Structure 1
């Protein structure tokens, strides 16, 4: 896989303190990377695998991020069908605590079915690409499964974040073990100059640009995963993999020598809070309930659409 990643800077606490210890992997080393490299089991305990079910078969489709013991944050295009309608909850499930898609460690891996799917109502291919998966069973936190912290910082340009996923590698092959990469958040004017046709339609207050132009990028299969940033000893979710440039050969595969667009998690925090009941706070390991106040001026309205089945 080839990945882009972004993390951010704030902590979440939810009812019952199920988020009081977020963003600190039990097994993470301090190594930094430039291009996609191997990870070890437990390095990224908030990263989730989203599977779709269709006519008796199951297929890995997207990444997601554990934000509490009841919710997975992902891209909206990861929870819809080809015709644009939401998937029925029975046709999707989530696995957490896994490192290899082909193997499961029974000590840490968990499979959860879905109670409800939320997406921002005015989602289009290029706008409001954010979704929430509400599970019908509670995630059990352990050394390989933990929630991420949430970024509250609006300006993260220049910061370097981490992104992980099971997407295509530089050889255009899928690889079952989780890969990671470190990438910077790019100034929007610089990004726009590289591909005005794509980024002129996408970059706004709710989307930002990140990556390198050297082959280190997100690719097919990385959608919905998180771009996280390390501050102190904690990792903060700043972006969601949304849109990457495509090759001109008709393959529908990512163009790896260009930047990609990420959903700004900070911009959508009020929507996330409204749909999850999670209270966002500025400081960490307690159960305070200091909520963010925002006028939340979404591009095309502020409603939501949910599918409950």
Structure 2
């Protein structure tokens, strides 16, 4: 897991999104996190769980050298994906590990009904805009038909390169969790299948009684491999 920050001043950072470590030099997140934001104003924290503690063992801070937005991105979830290349090559440790890219069938129908894990530092149940401690939730992947039937909003957002997931029980990714990965355990390996892109709100609060739309990473593997 990676925490993505915006550099406000020389000594000030603001948390903006989550991300997933792909390699010693690259992190993937959601493209909408970086609107009008140059790479020089982005910083990454790796190996952290508590954003308020600077005494955690093993965490590192990395500058971003290049920010690569998917060429098809147009503010919709379909290609809401971006890769950050770090300015320096890092090392893997007990605290910093990459996520595996998807290697099984890319058909969404084959993962419908499975529950994935999503984690991040987004808004919590106490109303904090950023949760200092990373939280995780298990969310069920649903079919395109079920997603669109649940809310008319999704008819304009769900495509062949996205999927919906959620339990519609008030638990799941919230504001600030954009860019965080949805992972599935396959053959004893954690594999990245989705990236948090869009969730509905109600009076300024997350509406987790509706599904959340994810970018389907499995539909962007060639682009990711070319840019990581």
Shorter chain as normaliser: what TM range? over 0.9
Aligned to 2:150: 194
- The 1-side partners of 2:189 and 2:120 are apart by 20
Bigger RCO of structures 1 and 2 (CA < 8 A, at least 6 apart): 1
Match of 2:41 in 1: 91
- The aligned counterpart of 1:269 is 221
Query: How far off is 1:232 after superposition?
Result: 2.8
1:132: Cα distance to partner?
Answer: 0.3
- Rounded to whole Å, the distance in 1 between the matches of 2:35 and 2:86 is 16
Deviations 1:150-182 (A, max 9, x none): 113323211111000101112322320110111
After TM superposition, list the pairs within 5 Å mapping 1:13-92 onto structure 2.
47-56=1-10, 57-81=12-36, 87-92=37-42
Mapped partners of 1:150, 1:100: distance in 2: 26
CA distance in 2, matches of 1:257, 1:169: 15
SS in 2 for 1:190: helix
Aligned equivalent of 2:52, options 102, 106, 117: 102
Residues 1:227 and 2:182 are matched in the alignment: yes
Report the Cα offset of residue 243 of structure 1. 0.4
Q: Supply the distance in 1 between the matched residues of 2:207 and 2:75 (Cα, whole angstroms).
A: 18
Asked if structure 2 preserves the Cα contact closer than 8 Å seen for 1:112 and 1:135, the reply is yes
Q: CA deviation at 1:264?
A: 0.4
Q: Compute the displacement of 1:55 (Å).
A: 4.1
CA distance in 2, matches of 1:105, 1:223: 26
Q: Which has the higher strand share?
A: 2
Aligned positions, number: 221
CA distance in 1: counterparts of 2:55 and 2:75, whole angstroms: 36
Q: CA RMSD for the aligned pairs?
A: 1.3
1:178 is aligned to 2:134: yes
1:258 partnered with 2:210: yes
Compute the displacement of 1:105 (Å): 4.1
Bigger Cα Rg: 1
Gaps of 5+ in 1: 1-46, 82-86, 277-309
In the alignment, the residues of structure 2 paired with residue 269 and residue 105 of structure 1 have an alpha-carbon distance, to the nearest angstrom, of 36
Cα deviation code 1:220-272 (max 9, x no counterpart): 0100000000123210000000000121x2x2x32121100000000000111
TM-score scaled by structure 1? 0.69
- On the 8 A contact 1:98/1:104 being kept in 2, the answer is no
Select which of 240, 244, 248 maps to 2:199: 244
